[in-house]
């Protein structure tokens, strides 16, 4: 089997590359990543001599054609601009990476008869749920994106489905909840809070800290995608969740407790514009049809993640030199 993994040097993509290498040693793996602020070739150091790696932007179609001409069985599409705060400041970049690049990959997959195209998406395309409700997103939830990031992911989801209905391309889609785990750059809450706590710096909590997300340990996500590739039905969408709802205050408390740091490190700052209040995933479909179940509780996963960052200081230290602070909260951080 020959598999193209886009964005394979990023957080989830790199974990998936390691997963496939471990479980399917005979697969030929090709990775394309433009190595932006989220992609890091060091993430693939342990398997670098076991994969074929290309550094370029997916909108450089001529370079992609050369890879597709080799013949591909699977395309697993992780590559995307994913940071909500960055999308608020630079939406054009998100349209190019998340919509235009996806269309190029789909067209080439159709023309070169790829056996299955799997698109990795997000629960953020569904909008927001009310705090205190029992509602959860599922495969029938209407799309209601609230940020340029989620809007471009929603657009790419629709493109993928259109290639199934219009061109009969074998596609699957997964909409996942918030991932966390090793190799995640400090632009997301778990690594940011972990690295701030390790350095005795403030853990900046947006707004009242009560916005809730469903958290999914990254290796559980990798298992889910593997199940979809092997057993999923063409044209279907699968919602992948961790069943672990946490708000910002709870995550800060958990990190500080594991690190044995003072709770006074918590600092409440200006809320993100258009901040969704709650996400939750109903993963009944993938559980019933494919046998998926999350295997890691949030407490277990958080401890494993913190242990990884403590053991890999040389990996995360360069990020501290160019730590990203959204414009809307820069005044809070400076205070």
The answer to whether residue 324 is catalytic is no
The answer for residues whose C-beta is within 8 angstroms of residue 43's C-beta and 6 or more apart is 9, 10, 11, 14, 183
Closest to 63 measured CA to CA, from 21, 33, 90, 93: 33
The answer to whether residue 163 is catalytic is no
Among the options 33, 81, 85, 124, which is catalytic? Answer: 124
How many Å is the Cα radius of gyration of the chain? Answer: 19
Among the options 74, 149, 206, 238, which is catalytic? Answer: 149
* 181 CA to centre of own chain: 11
Among the options 85, 123, 170, 220, which is catalytic? Answer: 123
Q: What are the distances in angstroms from CA 196 to CA 35, 254, 258, 263, 320?
A: 24, 13, 13, 13, 10
Give dist(CA 170, CA 265) in Å, integer.
49
* 135 CA to centre of own chain: 23
The answer to whether residue 124 is catalytic is yes
The DSSP string of 19-39 is HHHHH-TT-EEEEE----TT-
Give dist(CA 35, CA 14) in Å, integer.
12
Give dist(CA 164, CA 167) in Å, integer.
6
- Tell me which residues are annotated as active site: 123-124, 149
């Amino acid at each position: 089997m020959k598999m193209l993994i886009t964005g394979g040097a990023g957080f989830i993509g790199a974990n998936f590359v390691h997963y496939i290498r471990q479980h399917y040693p005979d697969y030929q793996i090709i990775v394309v990543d433009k190595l932006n602020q989220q992609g890091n070739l060091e993430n693939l150091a342990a398997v670098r001599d076991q994969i074929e790696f290309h550094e370029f932007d997916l909108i450089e179609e001529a370079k992609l054609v050369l890879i597709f001409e080799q013949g591909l069985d699977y395309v697993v599409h992780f590559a995307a601009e994913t940071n909500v705060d960055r999308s608020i400041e630079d939406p054009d970049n998100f349209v190019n990476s998340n919509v235009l690049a996806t269309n190029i990959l789909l067209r080439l997959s159709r023309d070169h008869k790829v056996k299955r195209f799997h698109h990795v998406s997000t629960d953020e395309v569904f909008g927001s749920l009310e705090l205190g409700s029992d509602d959860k997103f599922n495969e029938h939830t209407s799309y209601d994106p609230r940020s340029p990031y989620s809007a471009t992911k929603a657009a790419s989801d629709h493109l993928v489905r259109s290639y199934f209905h219009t061109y009969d391309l074998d596609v699957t889609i997964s909409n996942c909840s918030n991932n966390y785990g090793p190799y995640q750059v400090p632009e997301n809450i778990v690594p940011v809070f972990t690295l701030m706590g390790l350095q005795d710096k403030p853990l900046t909590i947006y707004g009242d800290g009560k916005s809730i997300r469903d958290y999914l340990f990254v290796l559980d996500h990798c298992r889910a995608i593997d199940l979809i590739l092997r057993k999923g039905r063409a044209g279907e969408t699968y919602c992948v969740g961790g069943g672990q709802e946490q708000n910002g205050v709870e995550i800060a408390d958990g990190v500080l407790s594991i690190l044995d740091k003072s709770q006074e490190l918590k600092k409440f700052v200006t809320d993100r514009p258009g901040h969704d209040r709650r996400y939750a995933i109903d993963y009944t479909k993938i559980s019933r049809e494919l046998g998926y179940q999350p295997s890691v509780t949030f407490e277990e996963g958080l401890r494993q993640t913190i242990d990884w960052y403590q053991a890999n200081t040389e990996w995360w230290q360069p990020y501290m030199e160019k730590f990203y602070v959204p414009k809307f909260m820069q005044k809070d951080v400076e205070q």
